[in-house]
Amino acid sequence: MKTQHYQSFLGLLFSIAFLINALVYTSLASAQTGSELPLNNTSLAQSDGHIVSADFDASINLTNNAEFLITDQSLLLSDVLQEQQWRSHTEIVNIEEESALWIRFQIDNFADSNRLLTLVAGNTFVDRAEAYLLDEQLRIVQSSRLQSESPTSANLSRSGFKMTFTARSNSLMTIYLRIQDDGLSVIPVELWQADAYNTQAGIRLILLGAMSGGLSLLATYFLFTYVLRNAPSRFWFCVFATAAMTTMLSTEGILPMLFMVPSFAAELTAISLTVTLFAAIKITRIIFQPISRLWLRAHYVLLVFPLIGIFVFNDLYQLISLIVFSFLFLLSKLVATFIYRKGIDLRSTLIYFSGWFALGIVGLIELSMLVNNTGHLSFSAPYPFIFSCIGVMLIGVAIISREQSIQSANSGEQVKKIQELQQYNDLFQHAAEGLYTAHPSGELIHINPAICALFGYEDSHAFLAGHKHLSSFFAQTKDADLLLGELSIQQTVLGKEVKGKRIDGSEFWFSISAQLKKIGDTTLQFGSLFDVTERRLHQVNLQYLNSHDQLTGLYNRRHFLSILEERIQSHDEKASEFALLFLDVDQFKLINDTCGHTAGDVFIKELSHVLFDVVHEQYAFARLSADQFGIIAEFSDKQELSALTDALLDSAQTFEFKWDKHRFIQSISIGISIYEPMTNNTLLPNGEEMLAFADTACIIAKEDAKSGTHGNRKNKAHIYSADMHLHSSYQKHLYWVNEVKHALTHGNFSLFYQHYRPLAHNDEFDYYEILLRLKTQDGDLVAPEFFMPSAEKSGLSNKIDKWVIESYFKWLNQNKAHQASLAKVNINLSGISLSDEDFKFFLLNAFDKYQIPHGKVCFEVTETMAIIRLNDAISFMKEFKKLGCSFALDDFGTGFSSYSYLKNLPVDYLKIDGNFIRDILNDKIDLAMVTSIRDVADAMKIQTVAEFVESQEIMVQVGKLGVDFAQGFAIAKPAPILQYASYTLQPDLK
């Protein structure tokens, strides 16, 4: 960094020294000439006609004091003396090919002393010139030719024809100047005092030397720094400065004279200028990178025209074309600086623009002198010299400034990248998850401390010392091979969970993600891993809980049915037969009512262990409901099945349950459904149907036991048969199951509603309960109490709940205006729905699908079902209460342990069973029960709803007791939801 700043400082120092040197020489020139030889102050002698007085200060411009004549180039001076068609020299006429231009004027020296004068005519591009000095008798006193000149301090630069002669005192002399060139007739012609001309020529050479030295110094400095820094802009500035110097020397005629090719001055000037402009284009492209390719190509094409002009135009037109082209090029530079200034820093833009602006001023001054045919020693003028020095120097400074700007930006980017790398390193070292870098083959490069801690190592050195490969992470090497194989194909592996092995030999689960990334020319593997042992164990527990009953540890109903379905689908005629055994505990309600539900839970748990000792792990054994079990038993003959059944019955018969001072000897009934393959195009039964068949057989077994049809009233088993004699209860159950299935398939359910109202105040909002009706195949419309028990036993009640919610939510979504007036709608749920995870997902999606506000929905659960499925009910309620739903406990008061379970259930409403409401006016016990329920509800901040309010008197009574809501025929009768009408407020109750 310090070296680069030193080089930039050195470059600026050289440039400043160059400028100071130039200014010193300029001052020296002014001091030497003094007041006698003022720069650019040519005094014109006043004379009559074409006679010039020899008495002038320093120089005189003869353009307006001379005559010209164009003749055939073969004419001699003697022939020209006879010509009479002389014209004013200010007339511009083109010199034709094979012609010569003659210029004449007279010099009058009436002084008493001789004067030494110098004639200067034309410019560097004049091909041939010769002069004749004649006295009063027209005798040739002196002659001179352009080719005969030798380099001296006075005529080193071939910037035109020069002839020094003596104007004798008291004489009138005539000069004839012959120019042979393919240009215009008007050329600069000047007459100088010899001493003044020699002084000015010396000063001019000093100035030219100073400029050449300065440009050479800049070019050398930038060339050396280009070699050291390999900066293309410095190389092209070296070319630019060198070419600018050669252009200037060619224009002054010094370079053609030194190389002894004075006739090729125009060609050398054109080539040098073209190279200068080409280098300038390169500098612009680098400084303003990126720049338009069209702009670059246009300039490259334009450079061809000056070169072509060498062979097409004559010398004068070549010079004019070069000046015009240079002026246009200068304008394009200034315009490009303005257009592309936003791509670079402002400082470099201003310096670069100033440099070209200074060179533009020089070009305007030189163009003005050329047009006016004045200022032969133009470079001796201080302003063009100063502006030339400043312009070239500023372009070089702009290059250095731009490099520093880029270097500063790169340094900033470098610092930023270093900071990013430091942040990445901090992230890598302190990340909570394990991070590693490895080769594609698996060889480890870096690991962070999190990996060391995960595997039980102190640091990365200790880990990498004994573990060089990615396979060290895995408990099984094949897992590493699989990961590397997937990476090579897919390039990315996400969340692959595998077993790892710690330093102490213990195994754990971790999740690994990796990808292959190409960094430069190297492909590396980047990966992360973190411990998922706890989640895996939790997942295993969830899977266990999802498939097992929490109380007994047996399979739950859902998993049992999935096993049954798989067994049915995979059945092979050659495989052994299997049957479904449905076990129902007789009089289980007696234990619950006598000792409480805790005792009932203990009894079921112990009975399941007794039955499992018979089944072992040979058969799939599940708890289907509170007091029902299921077994999938394979057998080779029915004797084996009968032996299993007898063993189960005997184990239950001998089991004795003790609770406090109570002793219970319970019994079970077994229904058996034997799987029968498809015969005579009959459909295969599914799991639900086999379960319904076994349940039906169990019902028949219970009824046979009660009626004593088969001898002993207890411990009976029955095998389902399609053509067996059916009891009326079974026929009724089968009938309603068939009707429910038909209704679900064909949509033969209907939604009704029944309003209920608050009793403590008038409310303009609507409260109602959704009721369900089934339209039988005979056309009858029946209430749920007829078909729901069979639906629940057959596992169809949750499907009915889904139909109700889907149908009502759809209707409510289509009646947006009704949602504003709706305060609360009550929807009944069955016990199966509370335990069904799929039902929860369905319900969540239904709320989202139909955009139903959660706060307007209250789900009703019967007290019996809530207590039987207490844990499921509590979990379901808590989950949906978080969303805003409310819950009501229906038929409250029917159980013996209602109050003990009420405090565990997060309900918002208690619907007092109608049996306590019907006779509340006449039965003091019912009145006391309702009062008791109201008091408990108030203490728990739960609102109460009185059901079966069938008269105004009952409504007044429950209102006096402090019941919050009333529902019944006294309020409103059920009506189809499609005929919905808002409730009309009744008069206030007094």
Under the banding of pLDDT at 50, 70 and 90, the label for residue 581 is very high
Q: Is it the case that residue 368 has pLDDT exceeding 50?
A: yes
Question: Which has the closest alpha carbon to 180: 27, 71, 289, 272?
Answer: 71
The residue that leads in pLDDT, 466 or 243, is: 243
What is the reported pLDDT for 1? 40
Beta bridge partners of 166: 116
Q: List the structure tokens of 242.
A: 């060198």
The span from the first CA to the last CA of the chain, in angstroms, equals: 98
* Tens-digit pLDDT profile for residues 8-31: 433 443 444 444 444 433 433 333
**Measured distance CA(288)–CA(913) in Å, rounded:** 91
pLDDT for position 35: 32
The pLDDT confidence band at residue 786, using thresholds 50, 70 and 90, is: confident
The residues, any chain, with a CB within 8 Å of residue 682's CB and separated by 6 or more, are none
Quote the CA–CA distance of 32 and 30 in Å, as a whole number.
Answer: 6
**Residue 909 pLDDT:** 93
Interval 495-524: pLDDT, tens: 888 888 888 878 888 888 888 888 878 888
Give the integer Cα–Cα distance in Å for 904 and 881: 14
pLDDT tier for residue 929 given thresholds of 50, 70 and 90 = confident
Give the torsion sign (CA, 33, 34, 35, 36). negative
Is there a contact between 667 and 586 (Cβ–Cβ < 8 Å)?
yes
Q: How far is CA 247 from CA 250, 256, 307, in A?
A: 5, 11, 14
Q: How many helices (H) and strands (E) does the chain have?
A: 32, 33
Taking the CA atoms of 538, 542, 544 and 548 in sequence, report the sign of the dihedral they define.
positive
Closest CA to 959 of 762, 761, 759, 763: 759
Q: Is the pTM of this model over 0.75?
A: no
> Average pLDDT in the 940-957 region?
90
Q: Which residues contact 572 (CB under 8 A, 6 or more apart)?
A: none
Residue type, 116: L
Return left, alpha or beta for 847; rule: phi > 0 is left, psi -120 to 50 is alpha, else beta.
alpha
> Tokens 């160059």 correspond to what residue?
18
808 against 463, higher pLDDT? 808
Burial class (CB in 10 A: 0-12, 13-18, 19+), 188: buried
Sheet holding 492-501, edge to edge: 444-447, 434-438, 522-531, 507-519, 492-501
**pLDDT tens-digit readout, 295-321:** 777 777 777 777 776 667 665 566 666
Residue with tokens 């949750």: 798
The label of the residue with tokens 């009721």 reads 771
User: Given this model, what pLDDT does residue 310 score?
Assistant: 67
Average pLDDT over residues 741-767: 89
Confidence of residue 706 (pLDDT cuts 50, 70, 90): low
Residue 34 — very low, low, confident or very high, per pLDDT cuts 50/70/90? very low
Mean pLDDT of 97-115: 87
Beta-carbon count within 10 A of 127 CB: 18
Residue 533: partners with Cβ closer than 8 Å, 6 or more residues away:
508, 509, 510
The per-residue DSSP string of 492-550 comes to EEEEEEEEEE-TTS-EEEEEEEEEEEEETTEEEEEEEEEE-HHHHHHHHHHHHHHHB-T
Distance, CA of 397 to CA of 355 (rounded, Å): 9
Three-state secondary structure of 346-399: HHHHHHHHHHHHHHHHHHHHHHHHHHHCCCCCHHHCHHHHHHHHHHHHHHHHHH
For residue 296, the surrounding DSSP H or E stretch is helix 293-302
- The pLDDT assigned to 769 comes to 95
Residue 826: per-residue pLDDT: 95
Nearest CA among 281, 283, 219 for reference residue 246 = 219
Whether residue 290 has a cis bond before it, omega within 30° of 0: yes
Cα 728 to Cα 784: distance, rounded to the nearest angstrom: 20
Which pair of tokens denotes residue 697? 């057989």
Look at residue 713 in the predicted model and tell me its pLDDT: 41
pLDDT tens profile 319-351: 666 677 777 777 777 777 777 666 677 787 788
Strand partners, 859: 827, 887
The tokens for 840 are 């929860």
Q: Residue 855's pLDDT is what?
A: 92
Structure-block tokens of residue 418: 């270093």
223 is written with which tokens? 């060339």
- CA–CA separation, 705 vs 670, rounded Å? 11
Residue indicated by tokens 């003091």: 924
Using only C-alpha atoms, what is the Rg of the chain? 58
Residues forming a β-bridge with 116 = 166
